[in-house]
């Protein structure tokens, strides 16, 4: 593992992967603006969907106009992942390969499990595949195996 240089990360993987990087989770300063950048319009339904999905995590309630930088590092990447999932779902894009860089280790065990379960749902519906790693190497997370292990441990 290493501190990933985002340029190197993009040079190597941007042709095949959608990347969520811990150090650069958002461009805009609020969730509403970030959705606007991605969807080219205000999308209150998407915003509401993300807020509802975020309620499953042990984080503060989502406010569409709250300054992104006032969320904690872990909260930011949870929101970034939920936003990516919402966009993928809204556009019905199948087979996306999502690469998480320095994201998983920033989450508490509870939040990590909830997030992996969200990814598992999208893997089932839309064929999403999840990868972690960065510049030097990446590996695929077996979402089905992780899902089964979670259910067995309950």
Partner 1 sequence: MKRSTWNMNIQRGTYPVEDRGLRFELAADLSPGVGTSCVWIRGENGLGKTTFLERVVIARLKADGIDYLYVGQDIRTQIYTLRAMLSVRGHHVFGTDEKELFRLWIGQSPTARVLILDEFDKYFQDYRFVFDWSRAFIQTYIVVSHAGHQRMFPSEDRLAVHPVLFTASGYDGGVKRVRILLEQPWSF
- Residue ranges binding partner 1 (CB under 8 A): 1-6, 22-24, 57-60, 70-75, 78, 102, 105-112
Give me the least distance between CB of 130 and partner 1, in Å please.
17
Give me the least distance between CB of 89 and partner 1, in Å please.
23
Q: Which is nearer to partner 1, 12 or 96 (CB)?
A: 12
For 131, the 3-state DSSP assignment is strand
Which string of b and e fits 123-146 if b means at least 16 CB within 10 Å? beebebbbbbbbbeebeebebeeb
Q: Which is nearer to partner 1, 34 or 75 (CB)?
A: 75
Q: Which is nearer to partner 1, 101 or 122 (CB)?
A: 101
H-run or E-run covering 138: strand 138-141
Give me the least distance between CB of 22 and partner 1, in Å please.
6
Which residues partner with 97 through β-bridges?
Answer: 129
Give me the least distance between CB of 57 and partner 1, in Å please.
7
Distance (Å) of CA 9 to CA 25, 67, 104, 106, 153: 14, 26, 17, 19, 35
Q: Which is nearer to partner 1, 21 or 43 (CB)?
A: 21
């Amino acid at each position: 593992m290493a501190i990933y240089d985002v340029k190197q990360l993009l040079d190597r993987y941007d042709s095949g992967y959608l990347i969520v990087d811990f150090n650069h989770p958002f461009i805009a300063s609020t969730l509403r603006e970030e959705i606007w950048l991605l969807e080219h319009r205000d999308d209150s339904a998407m915003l509401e969907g993300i807020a509802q999905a975020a309620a499953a995590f042990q984080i503060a309630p989502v406010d569409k106009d709250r300054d992104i930088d006032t969320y904690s590092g872990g909260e930011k990447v949870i929101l970034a992942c939920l936003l990516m999932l919402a966009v993928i779902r809204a556009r019905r894009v199948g087979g996306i390969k999502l690469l998480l860089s320095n994201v998983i280790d920033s989450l508490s065990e509870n939040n990590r499990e909830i997030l992996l379960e969200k990814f598992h749902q999208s893997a089932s519906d839309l064929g999403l595949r999840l990868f972690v790693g960065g510049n030097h190497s990446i590996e695929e997370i077996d979402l089905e195996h992780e899902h089964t292990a979670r259910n067995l441990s309950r």
